[in-house]
Amino acid sequence: NMPFSSRKVRDDIRMIRSYYGSRGYADVSVVPDVRQAEGARVNIFYRITPGARKKVGRVNIQGNTKSQDKVIRREVPMRPGENFNSVDLETTKRRLENLNYFDDVQVTNSNSSQGGFRDVNILVNEKKTGSINFGAGFSSVDNIVGFINLEQTNFDISNWGRFTGGGQRFSMSLRAGSERKDFRLSLVEPWFLGKKLSLGTELYYRDLLFLSDEYDQTNIGGAIFLRKPVGRKAYVKGEYRLESIEVDAESDTSDTFKAEDGKFLRSALSLNYVYDSRDSNKLPRKGHKVDLGVTVAGGFLGGDVDAYTVSGTGTKHWNLIWDTILTARGSFTVVDEIGGDGRVPIFERQFLGGARDLRGFEYRDIGPRDTVSQSPTDVPTEEVFGGASSFFASLELTFPITERVRGAVFYDMGFVNEDAWDFSGSNLASDAGIGLRLDLPIGPLAVDYAIPLSTPDDESDNGGQFNFYLNYQF
């Protein structure tokens, strides 16, 4: 027994119509019959007239002045001749809205000229899908950086002159500052060969001066990938990447870092499985994301780097009372050389510390250190040179302060060990802190302050640390 509610009656009618509509009964009639019972009680009967089953007739598309018909049609789960499913009308509307190509989407059905069929009518209103952004960004790692971003989310490489309407994703970005120079060009075709198979490629140049005081690193290369959905919330991604990596060690550094100096050709193949049930990729309140991957460089792929990497990351969100959000994060990575003495180049090794993991420590300041002289004249730098096994875990609780500002409290822990597949916790580092999450026009900015609680060595404890960075969740 429950209180009578006209709203619940309407919900029942909607549910019944969806049930019959999903089975082809497009004209189902549901009439509630409310009858007085004993006392203040009522009985509710639903009189259902299913009607005849229908099939899908024509799929009519209007209003797409820029987008090709195929870009819209491939998002429609109904095909002419199939059993009509009224639930698929809502699915079609949601998919087209998620493309973010249109200001308005209307999906309706109507009687067809063929008996026993229903036509599907789609009316869209195009909107601008290209953007140019420029300005300045900043973080506690690479300082102030000027940037230019050019993006077209409804790109068509074959439509010379306009370059729009094909449903491809094109982006070009340039970032330049005192500590970095980045250029990236990418193109993604989400329906390769007319199938739900994404084909993407990118070219890039990265001059990274902020990684260490002991060396600079430059990456020039490109990648190509295929991504295939697995069910509704998961996908598998395979990628081939070819890049030239130059490590330029400082002339007055130790022998440990001088040994890393050189130019390398890295040829690598990776495979990732990703499951993502989050309700948002900007401010997730519930759901989880898991990413498991393996990468092989060298061997039959050629190049100067022979190594493999096994990694896993996971994030889980809970929406609690008063719109507080509890987030648990974790990750592990193992890297090892294929053959040889087990030592891999410094750009393959693992580091922790900074805004993205152990926030109570300086950037990349957790891991094995250069403390042993390699020759009588060698002076160790006491700097971190990276390890082969890493583990990280974090708990964070955020809470609303204003509509665009959330507060945060968090705890981080993790370690980096020198040997592959070594997950002993003897080098554990941990911290706790507070922060703000700001929804600004330039993007979601995070500001954190954390203090170390436990440290693997004296050099890593430099007191409380401020971190600020653009907090994209993608």
| pLDDT tens digits for range 365-387 | 999 999 999 899 999 999 999 99
Backbone φ and ψ of 100, nearest 5°:
65, 30
CA 199/CA 238 separation, integer angstroms:
10
User: Do residues 444 and 474 make contact, with C-beta atoms less than 8 angstroms apart?
Assistant: no
How do beta strands 325-337 and 287-297 pair?
unpaired
The reported pLDDT for the residue numbered 54 is 85
The reported pLDDT for the residue numbered 138 is 65
CA 474/CA 288 separation, integer angstroms:
12
The reported pLDDT for the residue numbered 441 is 75
User: Do residues 281 and 473 make contact, with C-beta atoms less than 8 angstroms apart?
Assistant: yes
Cβ-proximal residues to 7 (8 Å cutoff; 6+ apart), any chain: none
Vertex 439 angle, CA 438 and 445, to 5° = 50
Q: How far is CA 424 from the centre of its chain?
A: 30
What residues form DSSP beta bridges with 136?
146
Cβ-proximal residues to 94 (8 Å cutoff; 6+ apart), any chain: none
Within the chain, which residues score under 50 in pLDDT? none
Query: Phi-psi bin for 24: left (phi > 0), alpha (psi -120 to 50), beta?
Result: left
pTM of the model: 0.85
- Amino acid identity, position 9: V
The reported pLDDT for the residue numbered 371 is 93
- Amino acid identity, position 191: W
Q: Alpha carbon of 59 to those of 3, 52, 109, 290: distances in Å?
A: 43, 20, 9, 37
Give the residue ranges of DSSP H helices in 81-184: 87-99
CA 196/CA 292 separation, integer angstroms:
21
CA 48/CA 46 separation, integer angstroms:
6
How does DSSP classify residue 197?
A: -
User: Do residues 243 and 222 make contact, with C-beta atoms less than 8 angstroms apart?
Assistant: yes
CA 370/CA 206 separation, integer angstroms:
26
